[in-house]
Amino acid sequence: YMRAPATADNSPLLEHTLMPTHMQARFSPEELREAELVAPFSFTKGVPVVRVPGFTMANAHAFGTLLYDLATDPGQERPLIDDELELRMLGLLVELMRANDAPPSQFERLGLPEKGPVGTEHLQIRRQWTLVERGQARIIPDE
């Protein structure tokens, strides 16, 4: 199960860090101009974190929310529409997000409830199916 952002603008996309660096460079002054010091997470030992606008090279919304049966489709070539299974996967995803102190912005970005149960109103595969089909059409088949 790969949950796409709920909206095409992929927002709010925020990065939280204790060390403002990328893989090979520090954050630039431009990136830090919008930085905020925000409340700590449960795993930061009481230390506040730096929050900056996030950046992505590709918008995951363009491909839609995807669900595969890895036992019968290990190559992930045939996405599924299965509301019952998606609801189960959503429950597991939200449970893990809550257990790992995911920020409220991540629940909002994914269209999930920060508190309370997951319901059918949170299902996305059917709503995003045209995106899934377009994404699948972009894949170049093996020759």
For the chain, helix, strand, coil in percent to 5 are 30, 10, 60
pLDDT at 29: 95
> Taking 80 as the threshold, does the pLDDT of residue 88 lie above it?
yes
- Please, which residues have CB within 8 angstroms of residue 97's CB and are 6 or more apart in sequence? 106, 107, 112
- Please, which residues have CB within 8 angstroms of residue 55's CB and are 6 or more apart in sequence? 13, 15
pLDDT digits (tens, 9 = 90+) for 41-81: 999 999 999 999 998 888 899 999 999 999 999 999 999 99
- Collapsing DSSP to helix, strand or coil, 14 comes out as strand
In this prediction, residues 69-97 reach a mean pLDDT of 97
Cα–Cα distance for residue pair 108/7, rounded to 1 Å: 10
pLDDT at 141: 60
pTM for the model stands at 0.89
